[in-house]
Amino acid sequence: MLTEEELIQQCLENDKWALEQLYKQFAPKMFGVCLRYAKNRMEAEDILQEGFIKVINNLHSFRSKGSFEGWMRRTMVNTAINHYKKNLRHAREMDIEEVEVENNSELKVLDKISTDELMAMIQQLPEGYKVIFNLNVIEGYTHKMIGQMLGISENTSKSQLLRAKRLLKDKIKNYGTHGAE
């Protein structure tokens, strides 16, 4: 079994077998990341493909100091953000109604729903909200960093995150209600 370092080395030598192994090893995790940023599965596939080619082309710039998976994940996230920015002008802006959180009923529902179902709800979020939600809640980026990445102010990032959470909670609650029926 090759170590991660050896595998990367072989990939750098353009060994097709090693590239396939790298893909097999990391594609499922990265596909999970892509799905969260995409509108649907097809878009996620596009992001994965684009991101993986970026990873292969920039493999030489990877410094073995940090985690390779982390580096690859960042590349995927950046690809997804670029994808979002590219499609931004075509994105349909949605009017978001303010959803007041009255209780924490969504937490109970959240335990019951599967990851795929949760993923579907996140995917349904408006583009901007979805990206900020993913970057902050899942990836752990600060609002300052998100602001820099997306070219928006820190406050915009904060307010959009708040709205994203409210919307997602609403969806989860609705799911709970729908499921209860």
**Rule CB under 8 A: which residues touch another protein?**
1-2, 6, 10, 16-17, 19-20, 23, 27-29, 31-32, 35-36, 45, 48-49, 52-53, 56-57, 104, 106-107, 110-111, 115-116, 118-119, 137-138, 165, 169
Rounded Cα distance, 53 and 19, in Å = 10
Taking the least distance from each CB to another protein, the nearer of 1 and 180 is: 1
Q: Measured from the CB of residue 89, what is the shortest distance to another protein in angstroms?
A: 25
Q: Measured from the CB of residue 128, what is the shortest distance to another protein in angstroms?
A: 18
Q: Measured from the CB of residue 90, what is the shortest distance to another protein in angstroms?
A: 23
Q: Measured from the CB of residue 119, what is the shortest distance to another protein in angstroms?
A: 8
Query: DSSP letter string over the chain?
Result: ---HHHHHHHHHTT-HHHHHHHHHHHHHHHHHHHHHHSSSHHHHHHHHHHHHHHHHHTGGG--TTS-HHHHHHHHHHHHHHHHHHHTGGGPPP-PPPP-----SHHHHHHHHS-HHHHHHHHHTS-HHHHHHHIIIIIS---HHHHHHHHT--HHHHHHHHHHHHHHHHHHHHHHHHHHH-
Q: Which residues of 38-65 are buried (b: 16+ CB within 10 A; e: fewer)?
A: bbeeebbeebbebbbebbeeebeebeee
Taking the least distance from each CB to another protein, the nearer of 140 and 151 is: 140
Taking the least distance from each CB to another protein, the nearer of 94 and 101 is: 101
